[in-house]
């Protein structure tokens, strides 16, 4: 039997959260919000992905404060207005698809905030051109040519921790079952972890215990108010000598497990332009395996896992417990249907899609069950 199409259950404090299979749609920024508000783009995007047959949808990096947005077009969950817009569009999308657990990634971009969308160059936007002053553990810019961010005071650190807590409360009120805290790709929590971006001399910088202090404080504070499944996405290595390492990631994962985490989602890089990433198929899977083997915490693998056989092999080898895909679902929103056909799995789909099956569907789809929603 295909492991990819076996259910997986997170044993969360408020009760189990069960995924029908082990395919996770990774968070993918759409840069299509207006002042943090979800739009009709999100309605169409989420409805499409909720009809994908995956085990769980992860909503893109969602800012816990206005200054925490990556770009002016990023989604937010920092007040009642942003919460209402997200609730409206997610509820409408959910009514158009089979039931699927939904995860939201809560994020603060730190010094990588106030940036243009990728198709507009992705560079830092100056305050007099619609940007804002960025915040970071230390006054070190991401790129040498950029202005330095403002180093956070202890009071500001506490405020941002509370921003995460309030966003988690709103997510809980919306009925979202899973939260992923974003500590990857060079954003604020990752900036605290990495010695390349964190050169503080107080209790939040220096040695490993100090650098993990803020991300761990955020996790513990969110755990207190959110009873659903809770985890963290972590860049397992900076791919730069002297940066954050996979061994440190594994140790952090062990501490997160002790603090009540249900999972870690293992990615890499993003904190330094000096990174040298050996991009290729499954290039991050060995990192996930190290973290899983060391911590024993449920682990997602992600990164150029594009074919169903690859995803199945990752699970069969025991390298990870679940597999996350991003761009593959943007390119082919029915990727899970393809995987089910190849691996003799089952997916559920809205009845309006049943007629799309090719005439030789029995040969193409094997034992796939297209179920009623």
State in Å, rounded, how far the first CA of the chain is from the last one. Answer: 24
Nearest alpha carbon to residue 232 among 168, 289, 286, 179: 179
Task: Assess contact for 290 and 264: CB atoms under 8 A.
Answer: no
Distance CA 113, CA 150 (A): 12
Selected catalytic residue, list 187, 204, 331, 353: 187
**Beta strand segments in the chain, E:** 8-12, 15-19, 23-25, 56-63, 102-107, 135-136, 150-151, 178-183, 229-235, 263-267, 299-302, 322-325, 347-348, 370-371
Distance CA 355, CA 48 (A): 17
Task: Assess contact for 148 and 141: CB atoms under 8 A.
Answer: yes
Distance CA 106, CA 59 (A): 9
Helix axes 335-343, 308-316, angle to 10 degrees: 60
Nearest alpha carbon to residue 115 among 135, 128, 134: 134
Residue 135 CB partners (closer than 8 Å, separation 6+): 67, 110, 111, 113, 149, 150, 152, 156, 160, 188
Among left, alpha and beta (phi > 0; psi -120 to 50; other), residue 270 is left
Angle at 371 (CA atoms; ends 367, 373), nearest 5 degrees: 165
* Known active-site residue 331: no
Nearest alpha carbon to residue 220 among 209, 230, 228: 230
Task: Assess contact for 61 and 362: CB atoms under 8 A.
Answer: no
- Tabulate helix, strand, coil % of the chain (nearest 5): 35, 20, 45
Distance CA 355, CA 363 (A): 16
Enumerate the active-site residues: 187
């Amino acid at each position: 039997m295909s492991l990819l199409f076996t259910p997986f259950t997170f044993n969360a404090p408020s009760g189990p959260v069960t995924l029908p299979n082990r395919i996770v749609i990774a968070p993918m920024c759409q840069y299509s919000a207006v002042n943090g508000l979800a739009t009709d783009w999100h309605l169409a995007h989420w409805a499409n992905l909720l009809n994908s047959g995956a085990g769980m949808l992860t909503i893109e990096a969602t800012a816990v404060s206005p200054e925490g947005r990556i770009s002016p077009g990023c989604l937010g969950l920092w007040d009642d207005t942003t919460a209402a817009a997200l609730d409206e569009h997610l509820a409408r999308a959910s009514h158009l698809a089979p039931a699927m657990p939904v995860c939201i990634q809560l994020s603060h971009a730190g010094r990588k905030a106030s940036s243009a969308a990728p198709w507009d160059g992705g560079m830092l936007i100056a305050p007099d051109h619609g940007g804002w002053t960025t915040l970071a553990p230390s006054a070190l810019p991401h790129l040498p040519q950029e202005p330095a961010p403002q180093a956070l005071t202890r009071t500001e650190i506490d405020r941002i921790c509370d921003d995460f807590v309030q966003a988690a409360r709103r997510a809980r009120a919306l009925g979202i079952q899973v939260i992923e805290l974003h500590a990857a790709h060079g954003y604020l929590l990752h900036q605290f972890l990495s010695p390349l971006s964190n050169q503080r001399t107080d209790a939040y910088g220096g040695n490993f215990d100090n650098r993990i202090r803020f991300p761990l404080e955020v996790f513990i504070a969110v755990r207190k108010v959110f009873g659903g499944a809770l985890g963290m996405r972590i860049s397992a290595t900076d791919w730069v000598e002297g940066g954050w390492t996979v061994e440190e990631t594994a140790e952090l994962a062990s501490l997160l497990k002790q603090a009540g985490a249900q999972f870690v989602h293992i990615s890499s890089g993003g904190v330094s332009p000096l990174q040298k990433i050996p991009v290729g198929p499954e290039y991050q899977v060995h990192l996930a395996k190290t973290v899983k083997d060391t911590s024993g915490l449920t682990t997602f693998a992600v990164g150029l896992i594009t074919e169903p056989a690859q995803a199945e092999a990752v699970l069969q080898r025991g390298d990870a417990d679940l597999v996350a895909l991003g761009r593959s679902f943007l390119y082919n929103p029915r990727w899970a249907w393809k995987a089910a056909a190849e691996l003799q799995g089952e997916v559920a789909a809205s009845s309006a899609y049943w007629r799309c099956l090719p005439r030789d569907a029995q040969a193409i789809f094997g034992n796939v069950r297209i179920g009623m929603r």
